[in-house]
Chains A and B, each alone.
Chain A
Amino acid sequence: MTTAAPHVVGVPIHIAGVTKTFESARGQVEALERLDLTIAPGSFVCLVGPSGCGKSTLLKIIAGLSTPTSGAVAFGADRDPRTAMVFQDHGLFPWMTLQDNVAFGLEAAGIDRHSRRSSAERLLDQLGLGEFGLRYPHELSGGMRQRGAIARALLTRPQVLLMDEPFSALDAQSKLVLQDEIQRLWAEHRQTVVYVTHDVEEAVILGDRVLVMSGRPGQIVQDLEVDLPRPRDLRDKNSEEVRTKTWSIWKAIEGQVRRNLHLPS
């Protein structure tokens, strides 16, 4: 369990009895059923599971982009914390320069053009994108776009940072570098991070805690703490702890993955 350093900006997340039902052509689909979960302030929690297990739905509900059919999400004493989200497909606006994209949250908050530009510039500098602020997204590589998306999420100083498979569209090497980056950025501010991924190993390497989801409706089938020192990197993948936990998670979801593929278990 992570100890709350004085620097923590994150807030706790309490999920109580959250159910989400979608209407589809073939009737009702239960994405989540009576899910209860508490996430500690400033922790890095990974949600891992096969397609259709409801992990992205849960993330959208925490983000407030989707309302639960029943149940509620609360954030401790803070009723309306600053929340930001990084999507799988960067989601940068193609019609804005990188700088304006990054400053979007500040623009929405009514900050004047001059101060928001200088804040965006400063953050882009820190992320090594300083000289690309006036470029449009289509002029940047995939890894740079995704870092731009992270910068946009961070500039509003979020207390809750939600990431929906942020690196799954990147090549394996860019992914390794950005996994380092996100750990570093999180260690600086200690937002409460909820990180959704398909990648079991990534979940164990990044998370303080890994929640394994499976089934329809989605349920939490495993709840693991990962107690390795940070920053964690490629070498940790060979540690006993990571290997054991990765295997255990895989065993918990393999059946569902096979069913999704219509393969025998």
Chain B
Amino acid sequence: MEYMEGHRRPGAAEPALTELTTDTGVRRRFVMPSFTAPLLIAIILLVAWQIGATRGFIDSLHFPPPSTIARATWSTLADGSLLTHLGATTVRILWAVAIGGFLGMVLGVAMGLSDRVRGALDPFVGALHPLPKIAVLPLLLVIFGIGDLPLILIIAAGVTFPMLINTMAGVSQIDPIHLDVARIHRAGRWMVVRRVVIPAAAPSVLAGLRLALNTALLIAIAVEMVAASSGLGEMIWMSWTTFRIENIYVAVFTTIAFGLGVNLLITLLTRIWIPWQRREAR
């Protein structure tokens, strides 16, 4: 074996390792995906839209030209309203992810580790997961009154299920040898959870978090349209009722940017927290 000789002659070890790890292909460098083509498409679409709307090929009342939307973006930024709305939505989502994410992870770990817990709770998950969470909004409004709390709870309910299901899947798919290794070394229960179960489930949990955040955004916009005095959903709804069409576009594009940012953040977190997964992830 080359590496053993490499060890005796330290200078020779590095190239030997590179050679030995080619089969696992890990030392590959991260290649940034090319954004050139999508960027080009976006620019072409925007230019076509601009020309179409200003020349009257498309109805500029419903499709205000990008320049008008840009001006509206600037003025809503300048008066602080856009950031207020974005901030309100973000805060609701963060609370919801904290509450629902925690609940989903705890239940997911318990259900993944214990068949008894899983058997007891599975029917409830099956029944409640498909329920559109917004259906119980009126009920929560009656119980808690109008305010942020019912909105956060509704979003949290939407977050709980993808987190729960993914955590459970990650935990129940742990390699049995890893649990045997922990047992034979007499690792305590807490150490097994902390050092084996959670890291083994981490890739699934992060995949669940990505789904959960997308669901959270969806529900947040919806509930804000109905029962909020701030937030991107409320901004969209108010712009419609006051017929500020360009502001609808501002809010929608902001929502798109928010979603993109969140997904980028998750990708980054995945890379930092689960470096060992890199190879399998691509």
Are A139 and B26 in contact, CB atoms less than 8 angstroms apart?
yes
Please tell me if the beta carbons of A64 and B184 are within 8 angstroms of each other in the complex.
yes
**Bound CA–CA A222/B92 (angstroms):** 71
List residues of chain A with CB within 8 A of the CB of B20: 140-141, 144
Task: State A104–B10 Cα separation when bound (angstroms).
Answer: 27
- Chain A residues positioned under 8 Å from B274 (CB to CB): 95
Chain B residues close to A by CB (< 8 Å): 1, 3-4, 7-8, 10, 13, 17, 20-21, 23-24, 26-27, 175, 177-178, 180-188, 191, 195-196, 199-200, 202, 274-277, 279
- Across the interface, which residues of B come within 8 angstroms of A129, CB to CB? 7
B3 close to A141 (CB less than 8 A):
yes
Q: Are A130 and B180 in contact (CB under 8 A)?
A: no
Task: List 21 contacting pairs A-B, 8 Å CB cutoff, sorted by A.
Answer: A64-B184, A65-B184, A85-B180, A85-B181, A87-B180, A93-B178, A93-B181, A104-B181, A104-B195, A105-B185, A107-B187, A107-B195, A129-B7, A136-B275, A139-B27, A140-B21, A141-B21, A144-B20, A156-B185, A173-B1, A177-B4
Is the CB–CB distance between A128 and B4 below 8 Å? yes
> Known contacts being A139-B27, A141-B21, A177-B4, is A89 close to B195, with CB within 8 Å?
no
Q: For window 163-185 of chain A, which residues contact chain B by CB distance below 8 Å?
A: 173-174, 177
Interface residues in chain A, defined as those with a beta carbon under 8 Å from any beta carbon in chain B:
63-65, 83-85, 87, 89, 91, 93-96, 104-105, 107-109, 128-132, 136-141, 143-144, 152, 156, 173-174, 177
Q: Are A83 and B276 in contact (CB under 8 A)?
A: no
Most buried by B among A89, A129, A141: A141
Contact, CB under 8 Å: A131 / B13: yes
* Minimum distance in angstroms from B178 CB to a CB of chain A: 6
Residues of A within 8 A of B7 (CB): 128-131
Contact: B177 with A95, CB < 8 Å? no
CB-CB < 8 A to A89: which residues of B? 177
Tell me whether A95 and B180 are in contact in the complex, defined as CB-CB below 8 angstroms, given that A139-B21, A144-B20, A173-B1 are known contacts.
no
Complex alpha-carbon distance, A141 and B276, angstroms: 15
- Inter-chain pairs besides A107-B187, A129-B7, A140-B20, 17 sampled, C-beta below 8 Å: A83-B184, A87-B181, A91-B177, A91-B178, A94-B276, A95-B199, A95-B276, A96-B199, A107-B195, A108-B186, A108-B188, A109-B185, A128-B3, A128-B4, A137-B276, A138-B26, A140-B21
Judging by beta carbons under 8 Å apart, are A108 and B1 in contact? no
Residues of chain B within 8 A of A109, CB atoms compared: 185-186
Chain B contacts for A140, CB-based, 8 A: 20-21
Cα A91 to Cα B20 with chains together (Å): 19
- A162 to chain B minimum Cβ distance, whole angstroms, is 8
Give CA–CA (A84, B23) in the complex, Å: 29
Q: Find chain A residues with CB under 8 A from B24 CB.
A: 138-139, 141
Shortest Cβ distance from B280 into A: residue: A138
Q: What residue of chain A has the Cβ atom nearest to residue B273's Cβ?
A: A95
> A138 contacts B181, CB within 8 Å?
no
Chain B residues in 8 Å Cβ range of A131: 7, 10, 13
Cβ of A177: which chain B residues have Cβ within 8 Å of it? 1, 4
Q: Tell me, rounded to whole Å, the shortest Cβ–Cβ distance linking A13 to chain B.
A: 15
Complex contact A108–B187 (CB within 8 A): yes
From known contacts A128-B4, A136-B275, A136-B276, infer whether A85 and B13 are also in contact, taking CB-CB under 8 Å.
Answer: no
Chain A nearest CB: distance from B190 CB in Å? 11
Bound complex: CA A152 to CA B184 (Å): 11
- Interchain nearest-CB distance for B88 vs A (Å): 37
Q: Which residues of A contact B275 (CB under 8 A)?
A: 136
* Complex CA distance for A85 and B176, rounded to whole angstroms: 14
* Cβ contacts under 8 Å, A144 to chain B: 3, 20
Q: A156 vs B187: C-alpha distance in the bound complex, in angstroms? A: 13
Docked Cα-Cα span, A109 to B279, in Å, equals 32
A229 CA to B54 CA in the complex, in Å? 94
B200 x A95 contact (CB < 8 A): yes
Bound complex: CA of A225 vs CA of B50, how far in Å?
89
From B276, which residue of chain A is reached at the shortest CB distance?
Answer: A94
The 8 A-B residue pairs whose C-beta atoms are closest, nearest first, are A141-B20, A95-B199, A108-B187, A128-B7, A91-B177, A105-B185, A94-B276, A108-B185
Q: Could you tell me if B21 and A91 are in contact, using CB atoms closer than 8 angstroms? A: no
A139 and B279 CA atoms in complex are apart in Å by: 10
Given the complex, which residues of A lie within 8 Å of B4, measured CB to CB?
A: 128, 177
Cβ B184 vs Cβ A84 within 8 A: yes
Q: Are B26 and A87 in contact (CB under 8 A)?
A: no
Q: How far is the CA of A173 from the CA of B183 in the complex (A)?
A: 32
Contact, CB under 8 Å: B279 / A138: yes
